[in-house]
Structure 1
Amino acid sequence: MHGTGPPLVTPFDAEGALDEAALRDLVGWVEARGVDFLVPCGSNSEAELMTAAERARTVEVVADEATVPVLAGTGSPGLTETLEATDAAADAGADAALVVTPFYYGHSMATHEEYYTSVADAAEVPVYLYSVPAYTNVKLDPDTIATLAEHPNIGGMKDSSGDVQTFQRTQRRVADLDFDLMVGSGGVLSQALAAGGSGGVLALANVAPEATTAIYEAHDAGDHERARELTAACVELNYAVTGGYSVPGLKYAMRERGAPAGHVRSPHRPVDADAKARLDDLLAEFAALRDDL
């Protein structure tokens, strides 16, 4: 996977059910704005609030509608659930599987290495590692990643640590391998690309796909200064829809842009009036930026 793609939000209706029609429309909405691939059932998809059957159906709908590659989130705390979800995603038409580090219980790096090797050995599609310490309290270390990168069925990684130094250390270890190292934090997209990253899986690409595409294209064209400027211009919006107001804020901002993001699922709650006002201000700033893209 190269370029930028969203961990696609999952539209739910007012009763909390999966809204398949809105999901199909959303695929078209983000694709029309330049994304290079789609990631259903990621963290911003509220996948942890969905049943296994709902996840499988979500991947199926996205894969059926998409004209770009699909990297489906399939990770769970246990190996059995992950293998079942990865098989289901492959059957549904996904091109690759994004597997989060096992969470809840603490595990050594050696255990994570064994776990990912087992998943990759069994999977019918390439496996991508997913390190998101904010949710799992686990950060894969560069040496473990480098060892796993040598597996013929491990295609890359999404690094959502936000730690550019560790990203650079990892990139140095995998630079000579066929391994896509992607950043998961939109606030450091240009820095990660400059460090040798192949792209990003970004919440920001749900609400401002034009900007993430423009950053990648500027970097790819050698205009690193413009890539840095655009990343800096999006930092506050990126923070608001991730660490600031999380999925409820992201979905609100998307709806304000006309994207069929749907409702959040409990225990998430809609954002309050103050959050809406702040997001409205940031969207106004982005509208001005968008005219310059």
Structure 2
Amino acid sequence: MRIQHPITGAMVALITPMLEDGSVDFDALASLVEFHIENNTHAIVSMGTTGESATLNQSEHIEVMQKTLAFAKGRIPIIAGTGANSTSEAIELTQAAKDMGADAVLLVTPYYNKPTQEGLYQHYKAVAEAVDIDQILYNVPGRTAVDLAVETAVRLSVIKNIIGIKDATGDLTVAQALIEQCPEDFLLYSGDDATAVEFILMGGHGGISVTCNVAPAEVSSAYQAAFNEDRKTAESINANLYDLHQHLFIESNPIPVKWALYKMGKCDSGIRLPLTKLSPQARSVLEQDLSNLGVISR
């Protein structure tokens, strides 16, 4: 039986729009929040990987989360990205998110320092005990160089305010193991656009999506069809997004998605070093996808 929860469905891993000089464009951020509310996105993740959390300092990080909440005005759940490779910093950011009224937080596995599975368990347990807010684990080993084992996720799933996991491995055998071993009320989210529809058809509760930045209505419709166990419709909608799912990772995320939104007129083309603008050779590929979707004209 599928869990009913306010934070399920199509969730966008929102970019942080920037001007050419790299400063955060809060006017564009307000417009993007409206864009997602109008197009049936079910929740917004602020300051996740796609939000360039690694290139903003802590005060900017907190301000972007605050502004996103202010622009949303309670009309859509806001999940704040508060992960860090320092447990104390993750606790500080998580406390800030709670204080500002975030609906939940998303905590990426501590990156670079490569903790053991016991270290990961103790890290997440410490954050959960320190801050009373709903918390979502986030496993993306392709970026962090550490993999949260299914067994560790299952250990953590019984902690009261750890409510779910975003699994971005793209490995559906991992998804199946999580579905089979975690408690029924533990929320399971895909973090891989290419396999998200199948993840939901297997029993997942939604996806935190990069593609949703560009095609929120389509992603939402595909996920809803999957929730309704209408495989044919879900796969048909998803097939039209297949090239976009792939090409939004033609270079490191969020380089392509920021370029796509710039071409759609949703934001300026600003991005912060060490990330750079999408290379000229990749632009034509992505622009063809956007043209095929009808969101730009060529």
Indicate the TM-score class for this superposition, using the shorter chain for normalisation: over 0.9
Q: Which residue of 1 aligns with 2:283?
A: 276
Distance in 2, matches of 1:3 and 1:261, equals: 28
Which range moved further: 68-77 or 10-19?
A: 10-19
How far residue 243 of structure 1 moved from its aligned partner, in angstroms, is: 4.6
The amino acid that maps onto 2:186 is: F
Q: Which has the higher helix share?
A: 1
Distance in 2, matches of 1:177 and 1:117, equals: 20
Structure 2 unaligned runs (5+)? Answer: 1-6
Runs of 4+ in 1 over 3 A off after TM superposition: none
Q: Does 1:10 align with 2:16?
A: yes
Partner residue of 2:82 out of 69, 74, 92: 74
Partner residue of 2:95 out of 62, 66, 87: 87
Q: Which residue of 2 aligns with 1:133?
A: 141
Q: Which residue of 1 aligns with 2:254?
A: 247
The amino acid that maps onto 2:141 is: P
Distance in 1, matches of 2:154 and 2:184, equals: 9
Distance in 2, matches of 1:107 and 1:245, equals: 24
Distance in 2, matches of 1:233 and 1:73, equals: 29
| Cα displacement string for residues 197-235 of structure 1 (whole angstroms, at most 9, x for unaligned residues) | 100001011111112101111112231121122223212
TM-score normalised per structure 1: 0.94
Partner residue of 1:149 out of 157, 175, 178: 157
How many residues align structurally? 287
How far residue 239 of structure 1 moved from its aligned partner, in angstroms, is: 1.6
Q: Alpha carbons of 1:122 and 1:262: their partners in 2 closer, same or farther (altered >3 Å)?
A: farther
Q: Which residue of 2 aligns with 1:291?
A: none
Q: CA contact under 8 A between 1:129 and 1:156: conserved in structure 2?
A: yes
Q: CA contact under 8 A between 2:222 and 2:233: conserved in structure 1?
A: yes
Aligned partner of residue 39 in structure 1, secondary structure: strand
Distance in 2, matches of 1:103 and 1:245, equals: 17
Distance in 2, matches of 1:69 and 1:278, equals: 33
1:200-211 aligned within 5 A:
200-211=207-218
Aligned partner of residue 248 in structure 2, secondary structure: helix
Root mean square deviation, CA, Å: 1.4
Q: Does 1:198 align with 2:205?
A: yes
Aligned partner of residue 68 in structure 2, secondary structure: helix
Q: Does 1:163 align with 2:171?
A: yes
Distance in 1, matches of 2:207 and 2:250, equals: 17
How far residue 131 of structure 1 moved from its aligned partner, in angstroms, is: 0.3
Aligned partner of residue 60 in structure 1, secondary structure: helix
Distance in 1, matches of 2:42 and 2:250, equals: 24
The amino acid that maps onto 1:197 is: G
Partner residue of 1:99 out of 107, 110, 118: 107
Identity across matched positions, percent: 29
Q: CA contact under 8 A between 2:251 and 2:278: conserved in structure 1?
A: no
Q: CA contact under 8 A between 2:46 and 2:65: conserved in structure 1?
A: yes
| Cα displacement string for residues 1-21 of structure 1 (whole angstroms, at most 9, x for unaligned residues) | 200111110011111111111
Q: Does 1:54 align with 2:54?
A: no
| Cα displacement string for residues 42-64 of structure 1 (whole angstroms, at most 9, x for unaligned residues) | 00111100000011000000111
Q: CA contact under 8 A between 1:150 and 1:177: conserved in structure 2?
A: no
Distance in 2, matches of 1:169 and 1:71, equals: 25
Partner residue of 1:266 out of 266, 269, 273: 273
Distance in 1, matches of 2:79 and 2:287, equals: 31
| Cα displacement string for residues 140-179 of structure 1 (whole angstroms, at most 9, x for unaligned residues) | 11111111111101011111111111111111111x4321
The amino acid that maps onto 1:183 is: S
Distance in 2, matches of 1:13 and 1:166, equals: 39
Q: Which residue of 2 aligns with 1:122?
A: 130
